[in-house]
Amino acid sequence: MRNIKSLFFLLLSGVLFNISPLFAQVEYTEIYPNRKVFMDYESFNVAKYRNRGARLNITETREDGTLVEIKSYGRNTNIEVFERPPYPAMHIVYKEFYPNGKLKQKVVYLPSQLEVGKHIECDATGNCTITDLEEGRNKFGYNDVLKYLEEQNMYNLNDGNKWEYTFWYTEGTQKWGVRVNKNGVQHKMIEFDSKGKGNVFEFEAAPAAPVVPIVGTFEQEEE
């Protein structure tokens, strides 16, 4: 009887060990007001695009309206995927895969090239690490910036205007910044103190933001 009980305990332990990852908490990046981008492992279906040639430059639209751009620059080069959710979202989910389709990294960008939230990086064998990019700058974080923009009627609108955003974060001063364009004209430039003091600084409209190089913006436009 003791042997049967021991065998049952070993079997039960094995079952629990195998299913426990299903219940493990998955890290994610939250985007205000109600989006989550999970930083879990995934792979790219290389076989699906094998007949498209060595260089990929493909644009697809998912059923939910997400615009997906797939790029590679030659045989045996890494594959980049840019996922742009539909309006009113402004963020981009960036994914990079090894030539065999295994995940190399995944992160969320606020326009133009500001990484926020969590960042997952994997080596060629599939070992992954997740870095919290918000450590030290989360007393007043990027989601607080997005919430402020919404409260000031500059984000998450259905007003028919074309809004463009350029975000930056300055390590030395620990400040967030955002330039907001409305219909192609600079509307506001704002800085926020990430140390939680609640200071908000608004600047008059200018031709360009002097503290960040503008390399392109992700446009959101109401359909």
Residue-range domain boundaries for the chain: 37-129, 142-221
From CA 223, how far away is CA 220, in angstroms rounded?
9
The number of angstroms, rounded, from the C-alpha of 31 to the middle of its chain's C-alpha atoms is 8
Q: What is the pLDDT of residue 156?
A: 86
Measured CA to CA, the distance from residue 166 to residue 186 in angstroms comes to 11
- pTM higher than 0.85 for the full model? no
| Strand ranges for 27-102 from DSSP E | 28-31, 35-38, 55-61, 67-73, 79-84, 92-97
User: What pLDDT does residue 201 have?
Assistant: 83
Amino acid 193 reads D
223 residue type, one letter: E
pLDDT of residue 197: 66
Q: Which amino acid is at 69?
A: E
pLDDT of residue 206: 57
Low-confidence ranges of the chain (pLDDT < 70): 1-24, 197-198, 204-223
Which is nearest to 85 in space by CA: 133, 36, 40? 36
> pLDDT value at position 75?
86
| Best CA proximity match to 144, nearest among 209, 86, 199 | 199
CA dihedral 167, 157, 119, 177 (to 10 degrees): 20
